[in-house]
Chain A
Amino acid sequence: MNVSLPIEAIAVILIFIGTVFAFLSAIGLIRLPDVYTRSHAASKSATLGVLCVLFGTLLYFWITEGVFSVRLLLGIFFVFLTAPVAAHVICRAAYRSNVELAEESVQDDLKKVMQEK
């Protein structure tokens, strides 16, 4: 690794943080008990990981090549916009097809709402 400018180190650190977050979300996918907690891990930390990697890449090319990539900025915005909605839709589909919560769960507020007409 050849870091010439101090601000390049910020890009390097951002990309490293992004990969760490993606790794943590992968561990969360394995370790957590049911679909809702898993989607919690997969959506939040994976989104943040991808955002950090994309922002680090944007910063790196901006500094070293002088290219401000609008596509990367648009990608950041787009992932930030759509990934939580995808997790929301998956979780809702799971709840509506009666996927059980984990045994450790103590509260299910949505059940009361779903039962009343």
Chain B
Amino acid sequence: MKKPNDIILHAVTKVAVPIILAFSFHLFFSGHHNPGGGFIGGLAIASALTLLFLAFDIETVRANIGVDFKVVAAIGVLLAVLTGVGSFFFDAPFLSHTFDYFNLPIFGKTELATAVLFDIGVALAVIGTSVTTILSISEDR
């Protein structure tokens, strides 16, 4: 038997992963007014990483993405809790969020809400948890 080479799978993965990542960022940022949000955006990023793990080696991807995903999950939960704690500084109940309109250079009038910070926490927790689960199942240790 000849040794298989995965050149088609590799080439298509290199094109597909940026599209999945772009779509997951779109899902993440559209979560306030459209379907989407932190959970599904995080899952889409985790699925892009899973495609990388499937097409290439786990060691290869690990060497290129030097992130410990257990730490990512911990940072996500910490960020979500800290946005709740932050409302104490403004004499508001726990987890009360606010928003305001700003004039940004490129985007023009933009609504910036502190709920996005909470959503980033959710997304990081989802990415960390799912990738850690996949990696720990797939390794024989």
Contacts and interface: CB of A to CB of B under 8 A. Distances in A.
15 contacts: A71-B23, A77-B19, A78-B16, A81-B15, A81-B16, A82-B16, A85-B8, A85-B9, A85-B12, A89-B9, A96-B1, A96-B4, A113-B2, A116-B2, A117-B2
Interface in A8-51: none
Interface of A: 71, 74, 77-78, 81-82, 85, 88-89, 92, 96, 113-114, 116-117
B4 A81 contact: no
B19 A74 contact: yes
Given A85-B12, A89-B9, A78 B19 contact: yes
Size bracket, chain B contacts: 10 to 19
Nearest to B54: A89
Chain B contact residues: helix, strand, loop or mixed: helix
Nearest to B1: A114
Contacts of B1: 96, 114
Contact of B2 (A77, A78, A88, A114): A114
Nearest first, the 3 closest Cβ-Cβ pairs linking A and B are: A85-B12, A114-B2, A88-B8
Nearest to A93: B4
A81 B8 CA distance: 11
